[in-house]
Amino acid sequence: QVQLTESGGDSVQPGGSLKLSCLLSGDKFSRYCLGWFRQVPGKEREGVAGIDTNETPTYEASVKGRFTISRDTPKKTLYLEMTDLKPEDSAAYYCAAEPIGLHRRCSDYVEEYTYSGQGTQVTVSS
């Protein structure tokens, strides 16, 4: 059973930075497409970034150039480094995982991945 455990959420001022981490346990890390989505109460999930098994990243337009997604296979950990944070980035952030299929391609729709964690809260406010 795959488990995802996020950490690193906090309250920061606009322009600040945070680094989120997500530990994957229960299965082989390299089998999974990984990503981050976020959600604000009353709104739908929004995919933020994804990374495939070749470490190729994709980003939602509003975070491109500010957020960096990465994965560390020996540590079985996914990261999201966030800089120049804005109030509109405030949300609960979730890491997500999907086993890569026989086609060896990862979906861009991170918010629909099969597995996700409990979330970590990011609040950007002055």
pLDDT of residue 39: 98
- Strand partners of residue 80: 20, 69
Q: Which residues contact 43 (CB under 8 A, 6 or more apart)?
A: none
User: In this predicted structure, what is the pLDDT of residue 117?
Assistant: 97
Both tokens assigned to 106? 């990862």
From first to last of the 126 residues of the chain, give the pLDDT tens digit: 899 999 999 999 999 999 999 999 999 999 999 999 999 999 999 999 999 999 999 999 999 999 999 999 999 999 999 999 999 999 999 999 999 988 888 999 999 999 999 999 999 999
At a CB cut-off of 8 Å and minimum separation 6, what does 2 contact?
24, 25, 26, 27, 32, 97, 115
